[in-house]
Amino acid sequence: MASLAGKQRIWLIGATSGIGLALARRLLDDGHRVALSARRREALEELTHGHDQALAVPLDLTDRQSVREAGQQIDDAFAGLDLVIHNAGTCEYLDARRFDVDLIERVFATNFQGALYAIDAALPLLRRARDSDGSQPLFAAVSSASAYLPLPRAEAYGASKAALSHFLESLRLDLAGEKIDVSIIHPGFVKTPLTDRNDFSMPMRVSTDFAVEAILKGLEKRALDIHFPRRFTYGVKLMGILPPGLRRRIGLAMTRKRND
């Protein structure tokens, strides 16, 4: 069973559903000091009940001040962070026949803009930990395998995740001199309440327990790209580097199959 070394100070954002909930339970059971964030205070307090080392920190990820205040609350309690896991996200699919800018903005507000607010709040806490004990803290965020390949109806979701992955790859280069690491997590299909709403086939969908094992194993190694399940994600990566004409034909085939 994968685990993180030592007892770390961790901020997990998006902790009350799906992958985040499974991660929260594992990190708490392993004895880490964990600040758990999501919208619903009641769900957070239920999750932290019985764990003296846990801190419930509700926030609105689309509100910059809310995220900053959450970061300050965590800093007051933990005096820095060794690890931040940004897991929060949403998914809505676009019907190009009824082009919906509001939908696209909603998805970007959480998946990309919200991640920027989290980074803004987290970096001072990661730097504080580094400066206090000479450690090399880590920022990790959950993107998606859809960042590798444009897919039908995924204009908003895929683009928001691709933007996040691109941003974090660039940030990784600029933080290297500060000895702050960045890991990007690219899951395939994971069985969660979010994917349960999908109306299409999800090949090689894995459980949240599988996802937690893969994520913790990757974080312990400080892997640059944590992607799973490998048979699926390697296939998506390969399709993503095919010539544009061939990628288009594959995408059109997916569209026709869905419309059949």
Catalytic (active site) residue 117: no
d(CA 84, CA 32): 12
d(CA 157, CA 145): 11
Non-local (6+) Cβ contacts of 109 within 8 A are 62
Name the CA radius of gyration of the chain, rounded. 18
Q: Of 93, 117, 148, 157, which one is the catalytic site residue?
A: 157
- For 142-180, give the DSSP string: E--GGGGS--TT-HHHHHHHHHHHHHHHHHHHHHGGGT-
Nearest to 179 by CA among 143, 139, 225, 216: 139
For residue 96, give both structure tokens. 């190009």
Residue with tokens 């509001």: 102
Identity of the amino acid at 90: T
For residue 60, give both structure tokens. 């609105």
Report whether 84 contacts 126 (CB < 8 A).
yes
d(CA 181, CA 127): 11
Within 37-100, residue ranges assigned H as helices are 41-48, 64-78
Before 229, cis peptide (omega within 30)? yes
Q: Cα 96 vs. chain centroid, distance in angstroms?
A: 26
Q: Which residues are catalytic?
A: 157
